[in-house]
Structure 1
Amino acid sequence: MFDLTELEKKFKHLNALEKKLGYSFKNIKNLIHAMTHPSFHKSDFEMLEFIGDRVLNLAIANKLWNKKYKSEKEYAEKLATQVNRFSLLKIANIWELDKYILWSGSDIKSILVDACEAVIGAIFIDGGWEKANDLIHSSWPDETMCFEELDPKSVLQQWGHKTAASYKYKTIEKVGPAHKPQFTIQLTVNQYIVTTTSTSKRTAEKQAALEFLKKYTDLIPDQIK
């Protein structure tokens, strides 16, 4: 906990953030805590982040329920494309949280991801489920470009769909004994070609997708493993 008067001068413009969020806080301390990262000062940031994560996942799961997916796996996969570090960072940038958050260090992307969840948690604590759910539904429209973290092939697939780019994986060579083959995969995306080799076809395709994303797009390859 901290004394509000100690930091309130640093938050003169939080009303601008409230306008972006479409929500006016009953207790502005909740938003101040969400905008004070523990690297800068002790606060309730991490608790709000924890709550915000749960509220966000429930809200998106509820939103997707009416889509009538064929299986739990398909349902879970779709949820993962909507709620991940990529989508959280995108929403944090839309809300321009970097203009308001107090932090110390160099990993601002990671902090903004956490801050996005902290803001959701703060609204839930301040205004309840309905207000938090309204914010999430207005900020996570179906067309939002979200990516499945840790899956470069899915990132490439969604990027290709959004940009109308054509792409194709092709096995151009398979060598070695049956118990330990080596696959060489060629990925062609429009006029660009990437070639990778691995002990499994799937891994080689994943590596090829990652190589392409690193070289030719402005996505966030450092967050894809």
Structure 2
Amino acid sequence: MSRRRFTLFTAIFLFAFSVPFLAGAAKDPHDQRLKYLSSPFEAALEMLQKQIGYNFKRIEVLRRAMTHPSFSEENNRALSILGANVIETSVSLHILRKDIEISPKDLNRRISEISNVESSCAIDGLRLGIHKVIRVSPRTNSSIPAVVCGAYRAIFGAIAIDTNKSDDAGNVFWIVHGGDIGRALAF
């Protein structure tokens, strides 16, 4: 058999056995072979789920949470609003459990300190590396606090949608924010 025929035969043989292998990998989302088929964005979403300690049942909700309005009309704006409300409700609940006599002014100040775009929200988001995950247009800086914070909040909105429970999203927020609710509220 000539060398050229042997190479062609080998290529056909390898192709014939790799197609079923790859097709089977696409059917099982937990199959390790998928790592070879996924995009960098999908791999980043997998890593983000590990970092926050929550695995999405509907990954498309997390995809949307990590999509800035500059990138697509199907974006994270609504999820960010929901996430901000989840965070504020969870913070309010924890503060009021600790001190029911707190003044509304002090309550608002404490909520702002934990969920503020320029401080805690952006710091937590940058720590998670959201600026490396979020899809933005080439003209948009993914590291600016408003972009990072919008995506960070959208994660918790996405969790609330995925579980159909805002309490679950609030619990994940506290884990991501620092784990220790008492320490987070003590400042």
Shorter-chain TM-score range = 0.5 to 0.7
- CA drift of 1:107 comes to 6.1
TM-score, normalised by the number of residues in structure 2: 0.67
Which stretches in structure 1 are left out of the alignment for 5+ residues?
1-7, 146-157, 159-225
Give the aligned residue type for 2:167. Answer: E
- CA drift of 1:125 comes to 0.4
Give the aligned residue type for 1:124. Answer: A
Q: Structure 1 residues 136 and 113 mapped into 2: Cα distance closer, same or farther (>3 Å)?
A: same
Q: State how far apart, in whole Å, the 2-side matches of 1:10 and 1:45 are.
A: 19
**Alignment match, 1:81:** 113
Q: State how far apart, in whole Å, the 2-side matches of 1:44 and 1:12 are.
A: 16
- CA drift of 1:53 comes to 1.1
CA contact (8 A) 2:132 2:142 kept: no
How many residues are aligned here? 140
Query: Does 2:77 match 1:41?
Result: no
Query: Does 2:135 match 1:102?
Result: yes
Query: Does 2:172 match 1:135?
Result: yes
Q: Structure 1 residues 106 and 137 mapped into 2: Cα distance closer, same or farther (>3 Å)?
A: closer
Which stretches in structure 2 are left out of the alignment for 5+ residues?
1-37
Cα distance per residue 1:128-165 (max 9 Å; x no partner):
223201111213344459xxxxxxxxxxxx8xxxxxxx
Query: Does 2:151 match 1:125?
Result: no
Cα distance per residue 1:4-52 (max 9 Å; x no partner):
xxxx735221111100010000110000001111211221311111111
Give the aligned residue type for 2:103. Answer: S
Give the aligned residue type for 2:169. Answer: A
Q: 1 or 2, which has the higher helix percentage?
A: 2
Cα distance per residue 1:175-205 (max 9 Å; x no partner):
xxxxxxxxxxxxxxxxxxxxxxxxxxxxxxx
Kindly indicate whether structure 1 or structure 2 has the higher relative contact order, using CA contacts under 8 Å at least 6 residues apart.
2
Q: State how far apart, in whole Å, the 1-side matches of 2:152 and 2:112 are.
A: 17
Q: State how far apart, in whole Å, the 2-side matches of 1:83 and 1:19 are.
A: 22
What RMSD, in angstroms, separates the aligned Cα atoms of the two structures? 2.2
**Alignment match, 2:11:** none
TM-score, normalised by the number of residues in structure 1: 0.57
* Identical counterparts, % of pairs: 26
Q: State how far apart, in whole Å, the 2-side matches of 1:106 and 1:29 are.
A: 23
Q: Secondary structure at the match of 1:41?
A: coil
